[in-house]
Amino acid sequence: MLWKLIREDRGGQILLGILLLAIIAVPLLNGLPSDHPLHIPTYTVALLGKYLTLALLALSVDLVWGYLGILTLGHGAFFALGGYVMGMYLMRQIGERGVYGHPELPDFMVFLSYDSLPWYWLGFDSFWFTVAMVMLVPGLLAFVFGALAFRSRVSGVYLSIITQALTFALMLAFFRNEMGFGGNNGLTDFKDILGFSLQSNETRLGLFIASAVALMLGYLLSRYIIQSRLGRVCVAVRDSESRARFLGYRVENVKLWVFTLSAMMAGVAGSLYVPQVGIINPNEFSPLNSIEVVVWVAVGGRATLYGAVVGALMINYAKTWFTTELPEVWLFALGAIFILVTLLLPRGVTGLLRRKEAV
């Protein structure tokens, strides 16, 4: 079954092979003495894990943009919601190490004079409840939003603007202290996950492996969808929505199903991102973040799946380098990359590689 999914997908085979190799090699290299030339420090492990979660986010965007033709500028909202859900669980794990006399309340709630834990924080002391909410919260928002938008036949640039408005509205809401999510400071100062210290090498490696496995599963799920009958209908909707409707397909249901699944994937990516970076705040809802994800997909190659992963890894590595060495240049560099790729490589970096293989 697995081989059937990737039998004709050489790019996917290479991607999955690299991820499997990374799962084996990174822990081994991290375990080498710190003065060894091949040693990978814990900081780099966490950085690589962060890149993989962002690659999963890019994959979720490519699923709807590449194969449904929906240019979403709001997937950062689903990513951030998944991150906040995980952040709530991590805050509940602080327990007795929190503010004296209020071990059940996060520090910011004590400072804001909360008497008790808000009802929507209940249950987040359970890891499995949190795992369910990581997918259900973004999925429910996407389902409600999609049901209203797709059944009203909103499409094209109008849909893109509405998705951007959605994430901007959520950003403004989460900035408010009375929302109960830490206001502009967000949620931070996490200690443990499943009883393991977030600062330990073992936990960092575990999160890296979990991120790699999640990306692999996300890729295989996406590949399964686009190779199925549903995937063929998605491509038909992307290429000619009116003809698909004429043939009797319920286009709005196809869009709604895939859009909701994509949002759930973005939520999983956000939940793995937060424990590795140590913070989640309303800035993650910024529309600029969602636009950046679209740039990653365009650079890597739209409608390839593995291209979205390649683009996310390339651009985020470049961002890390620029923001460290030349921070004032990064936004100009990002804009230049997007313009050059649009003009010279309309099918992205992976499209160039496919062209060379064809020759």
- pLDDT band of 359, cuts 50, 70, 90: very low
Q: Give domain status of residue 160, yes or no.
A: yes
pLDDT, residue 274, reads 97
Which residues, including other chains, have CB under 8 Å from residue 324's CB and lie 6 or more apart?
none
Whole-angstrom Cα distance, residue 172 to residue 337?
30
Q: Give domain status of residue 197, yes or no.
A: yes
Taking 90 as the threshold, does the pLDDT of residue 210 lie above it? Answer: yes
Q: Give domain status of residue 11, yes or no.
A: yes
pLDDT, residue 196, reads 92
**211, 276 in Cβ contact below 8 A?**
yes
pLDDT, residue 355, reads 61
Supply 265's token pair. Answer: 């994937």
SS3 label, residue 187? strand
- pLDDT band of 7, cuts 50, 70, 90: confident
Taking 80 as the threshold, does the pLDDT of residue 100 lie above it? Answer: no
**Model confidence pLDDT, tens digit, residues 321-346:** 998 888 888 888 888 888 888 888 88
Q: Give domain status of residue 81, yes or no.
A: yes
Whole-angstrom Cα distance, residue 210 to residue 204?
10
Taking 80 as the threshold, does the pLDDT of residue 102 lie above it? Answer: no
Secondary structure percentages of the chain, helix, strand, coil, to 5 = 75, 0, 25
Taking 90 as the threshold, does the pLDDT of residue 95 lie above it? Answer: no
- pLDDT band of 62, cuts 50, 70, 90: very high
Q: Give domain status of residue 308, yes or no.
A: no
pLDDT, residue 96, reads 55
Taking 70 as the threshold, does the pLDDT of residue 99 lie above it? Answer: no
pLDDT, residue 2, reads 63
- pLDDT band of 244, cuts 50, 70, 90: very high
Taking 50 as the threshold, does the pLDDT of residue 187 lie above it? Answer: yes
**Model confidence pLDDT, tens digit, residues 217-240:** 999 999 999 999 999 999 999 999
pLDDT, residue 348, reads 87
Q: How many domains does the chain have?
A: 1
Q: Give domain status of residue 208, yes or no.
A: yes
pLDDT, residue 110, reads 79
Q: What is the mean pLDDT of the chain?
A: 91
Length of the chain in residues, anyone? 359
pLDDT, residue 1, reads 61
CA distances from 259 to 15, 173, 308, 310, 333 (A): 24, 23, 17, 22, 31
Amino acid at 30: N
pLDDT, residue 358, reads 46
**Model confidence pLDDT, tens digit, residues 133-183:** 999 999 999 999 999 999 999 988 999 999 999 999 999 999 998 899 999
Whole-angstrom Cα distance, residue 359 to residue 346?
18
The residue segments making up the domain with residue 61 are: 2-286
Whole-angstrom Cα distance, residue 326 to residue 167?
29
Q: Give domain status of residue 328, yes or no.
A: no
Q: Give domain status of residue 318, yes or no.
A: no
- pLDDT band of 94, cuts 50, 70, 90: confident
Taking 70 as the threshold, does the pLDDT of residue 45 lie above it? Answer: yes
